[in-house]
Amino acid sequence: MENVYLAIALAPLVGAILAGLFGRLIGRSGAHWVTILGVGLSFLLSLLVFKHHVIDGAGAFNGTVYTWMVSDGIRMEVGFLIDRLTILMMMVVSFVSLMVHIYTIGYMHDDPGYQRFFSYIALFTFSMLMLVMSNNFLQLFFGWEAVGLVSYLLIGFWYKRPSAIYANLKAFLVNRVGDFGFLLGIAAVAMYFDTLDYADVFAAAPSMVDATIEIFQGSPWSLMTVVCILLFIGAMGKSAQVPLHVWLPDSMEGPTPISALIHAATMVTAGIFMVARMSPLFELSDTALNVVMVIGAITALFMGFLGVVQNDIKRVIAYSTLSQLGYMTVALGASAYSAAIFHLMTHAFFKALLFLAAGSVIIAMHHEQDIRRMGGLKKYMPVTYWTSLVGSLALIGFPGLAGFFSKDTIIEAVHASSLAASGFAYFAVLSGVFVTALYSFRMFFLVFHTEERFDEHTRSHLHEPPAVVTVPLILLAIPSVVAGYWIDPVVFGDYFGGAIFFSDAHPVMEELTHEFHGAWSFVLHGLTGPAFWFAMAGLFTAWYVYTRQPDLANQARNRFAWLYRVLVDKYGFDRFNEVVFAGGARGVGWLLWKAGDVVLIDGLLVNGSARVVGWTAAVARHLQSGYLYHYAFGMILGLLAFLSWFIWWG
């Protein structure tokens, strides 16, 4: 099987290299064929691996493919850990990536950077697969950085737009903060565990529970807490948790297929995956779990609110992504790792679907993204309409659809959790359901229903995009409906086996499993739960406010102008960063310039030294090659210094 694993990772890489370096040679269709074949191969082989491990019941594979170097006893290796968690991620990544590849043929049809684009997304697929298949921290970090790199490249894909460059830079800088924490976390692991291999670290972790680390003299902290929080800071950057979330909405400057693939379905979930992978570490620190839960809850609720006031179709979905990532994080904090991963999977399907549908709308509207200038698209774009409906219903957790199962499980898990933060988190995720339904269907109604708010010219060209766009929509709609029924084995069964670890102190999933009696009864139970009614309330509010009483929204906006301002300002995170960080950096820069350059360099060094050694310069002018004298003099001074050193020492 080892060769199969290798092939899964390398097939997209080969495609990326062919499309990237020989793009001109193989042409447009050549570029999309090699990359699609590569990613398609990965997907098919992932299915094969699924069959081998899950259906035929082979044990997890943990092996080194290649030893890069051994330094001071720490082995740096490329290796694969193929357990059921990995397999699930591999299938999700390769499937969504394949859909996006196909969709891109239609979406980027007229773009001059066609080959480059395919090369990037295939490269991304490779990096993401390496990330999830890794069996050690080093490779995890490489994959982590590589997906980040491709993400920046793609956000800035349309590099001629200043806003794209700005967004690109912002994503880069914000992620540096997260990566710094992540790197420190890995360094701490390497320092205390003396290995970078997952299995070794996890095996040694329980014996480290009581270990402490003294960063500041006299205040020992629990090692596990420090490590977990540092690692989680990395996850916050990549998975866009408050306050490191600011880059994600701006990343919508990238082409829509990217928003679907990277900024919704796969890369941003890397943080979630990582924490789930590290469950044997996180389970050892209640403090870290509380932090995770609080951050997730804040993100889940407050980012949802922002979706309600956005008018850009992609940004609405972006805030929805932030909010859903918050849900996953809350689940992690509640030790419901399987629920988080399950939500990750269902979210990947329906969010990719929603983004691609939004892209479909954007193409049809000639790159108009403002939902205030849409409306009534239902009759022009039936396929997009129905698939969007499926996606939106799945997102709000309509019973029976994929999102319902995963989200309800998370809410139940938070309810069952006994951590200190669970009370607040339960409130946040429950209210979040209402908000989710509100912004989702606000967008849905404004785009597909209500009166047409665009001009005649647009109307005349309005039609359903070609099959390469609609087929991925339909293919993604299917798992958005049915993936939820997999809940039985994945969340409550023993699908994950040893891949995810629960400590006895957090028996959340056990409790839920007791109450679980099959998917259908789960649906019925859901119909009576508060979450369902919150969602319905949100849906109804959206319907009433935006289709029946459009004035109501305006009145509300005027009445609560301050609230509206706060939301439009996105709670001032951007303003805060602008003033404090950017302004601070500018201030420090100005200070350095003033104090350093003007006073020290110009004043003392340049002018001062000009006076002090002015006569040397005069000598230089008189002699034909004065510089050479300076050189020689420098050499003599060096000689003198060495001579003194050796004599004084000897």
Partner 1 sequence: MITMARDLPLLWPEILVLLAGAGALACEMLRLPRTALAVATALLLAATALSLPLLSLDTTVFGGTFRVDALSVWAKLILLPATVLALLLARAELAGSDREGTVYALLCFTSFGALVLAGSGDTMFLVLGVLLSGLGAFALVAYPRDDAATEAAMKFFVFASVAGAVMVFGLSYWFGATGTTLLDDLATPGLPPAAIAIGLAGMIVGLGYKASLAPFHFWAPDAYEGAPVSVAAYLSVVPKIGALFALAQVARDLPPGSGWSGAVAAVAVLTMTWGYLAALVQDNLVRLLAYSSIAQAGYFLLGIVAVGASPLALLSLVLFGAAYAAMNLGAFAIIQRSGRTLESFAGLGRARPAVGVAMVLFLLSLTGIPPLAGFVGKLLLFGAAIDANHTWLAVIAIVNSVLSLAVYLRIVVALYRQPAGAPGVPAGGALVTLVWVAALAATLLIGLAAQPLLAPLV
Partner 2 sequence: MAFEKLVFYILAAILVYAATRVITVRNPVHAVLHLVLAFFTCSGLWLLLEAEFLAITLVLVYVGAVMVLFLFVVMMLDINLAPMKEGFVRYLPVGLPVALLMLLEMYLVVRAKYFGVEQMPLPPRHGADYSNTAELGGVLYTDYVYPFEIAAVILLVAIVAAIALTMRRRPDSKYQNPAQQISVRRQDRVRLVRMEADKNE
Using CB under 8 A as the criterion, which residues of the chain lie in contact with partner 2 when the complex forms? 613, 615-616, 618-619, 622-623, 633, 636-637, 639-640, 643-644, 647
CB of 608 vs partner 2, minimal distance in Å? 16
Establish if 609 lies at the interface with partner 1 (CB under 8 A).
Answer: no
Cα separation, 250 vs 92, in Å, equals 25
Query: Do residues 133 and 82 touch, judged by C-beta distance below 8 A?
Result: yes
Q: Confirm if 449 and 376 have CB atoms less than 8 A apart.
A: yes
CB contact burial 349-367 (16+ within 10 A = b; e otherwise): bbbbbbbbbbbbbbbbbee
Rg value, the chain, Cα:
28
Scan residues 510-569 and list those touching partner 1 (CB under 8 A).
none
**Site size for partner 1 (CB under 8 A):** 30
Among 41-49, 201-209, 235-243, 635-643, the segment contacting partner 1 (CB under 8 A)? 635-643
613 binds partner 1 (CB under 8 A): no
Q: Which is nearer to partner 1, 153 or 469 (CB)?
A: 153
Q: Residue 71 interacts with partner 1 (CB under 8 A)?
A: yes
Considering only residues 72 to 91 of the shown chain, the ones binding partner 1 according to CB under 8 A are 72
Let me know the angle formed at the C-alpha of 29 by 28 and 31, rounded to the nearest 5 degrees: 65
Cβ contacts of residue 616 below 8 Å, gap of 6+? 630
CB 28, min distance to partner 1, A: 15
- For residue 498, give the nearest of 133, 140, 83, 208 by alpha carbon: 83
Helices (H), 134-214: 137-155, 162-193, 198-204
Choose, by CB under 8 A, the member of 1, 7, 20, 111 that binds partner 1.
20
Q: Near partner 1 by CB under 8 A, which window of 19-27, 225-233, 234-242, 517-525? A: 19-27
Q: CB under 8 Å to 639, separation ≥6 — which residues?
A: none
What DSSP letter does each residue of 76-126 carry, written as one string?
Answer: EEEEEEE-HHHHHHHHHHHHHHHHHHHHHHHHTTT-TTHHHHHHHHHHHHH
From 38-46, 271-279, 525-533, 626-634, give the range in contact with partner 1 by CB under 8 A.
Answer: 626-634
- Nearest approach, Cβ of 613 to partner 2 (angstroms)? 8
**Which residue in 23, 40, 280, 399 binds partner 1 (CB under 8 A)?**
23
Could you tell me the smallest distance in angstroms from the CB atom of residue 338 to partner 1?
Answer: 34
Distance CA 466, CA 496 (A): 39
CB of 603 to partner 2, least distance (A): 23
Which one of the spans 2-10, 97-105, 540-548, 633-641 is the region binding partner 1 (CB under 8 A)?
633-641
CB 321 within 8 A of CB 268: yes
Task: Give min distance, CB of 168 to partner 1, in A.
Answer: 12
Q: Under DSSP, is residue 194 helix (H, G, I), strand (E, B) or coil?
A: coil
Residue 650 beta carbon to partner 1: minimum distance, rounded to whole angstroms: 3
Of the pair 164, 512, the CB lying nearest partner 1 is at 164
What would the x/- binding string for partner 1 be over residues 318 to 357, using CB under 8 A? ----------------------------------------
If the CB atoms of residues 29 and 609 are measured against partner 2, the closer one turns out to be 609
Asked whether position 591 contacts partner 1 by CB under 8 A, the answer is no
CB 107 to partner 1: min, Å: 22
CA–CA dist 356, 370 (Å, integer): 16
C-alpha to C-alpha distances, 106 to 30, 40, 359, 484, nearest whole angstrom: 15, 18, 10, 29
Select the binding partner of residue 622 from partner 1, partner 2, none (C-beta < 5 to 8 A, by kind): partner 2
Question: Looking at beta carbons only, is 23 or 237 nearer to partner 1?
Answer: 23
Q: Least distance in Å: CB of 24 to partner 1?
A: 8
Q: Rounded to an integer, what distance in angstroms lies between the CA atom of residue 311 and that of residue 318?
A: 12
Residue 70 interaction partner, one of partner 2, partner 1, none, beta carbon < 5-8 Å per kind: partner 1
Buried b (16+ CB within 10 A) or exposed e, 14-44: bbbbbbbeebeebebebbbbbbbbbbbbbbe
- Binding partner 1 (rule: CB under 8 A), the pick from 142, 166, 571, 576 is 142
**Residue 109 in the binding site for partner 1 (CB under 8 A):** no
Name the nearest CA neighbour of 229 among 309, 313, 291, 314: 291
Name which position in 505, 552, 580, 637 contacts partner 1 (CB under 8 A). 637
565: amino acid identity, one letter: R
Least Å from the CB of residue 183 to partner 1: 12
- List the single partner that 619 binds among partner 2, partner 1, none, CB under 5 to 8 Å by kind: partner 2
CA separation for the pair 317, 355 (Å, rounded): 7
Cα separation of 357 and 367, whole Å?
A: 13
Query: What residue ranges bind partner 1 (CB under 8 A)?
Result: 20-21, 23, 67-72, 116, 142, 625, 627-628, 630-632, 634-635, 637-639, 642-643, 645-650
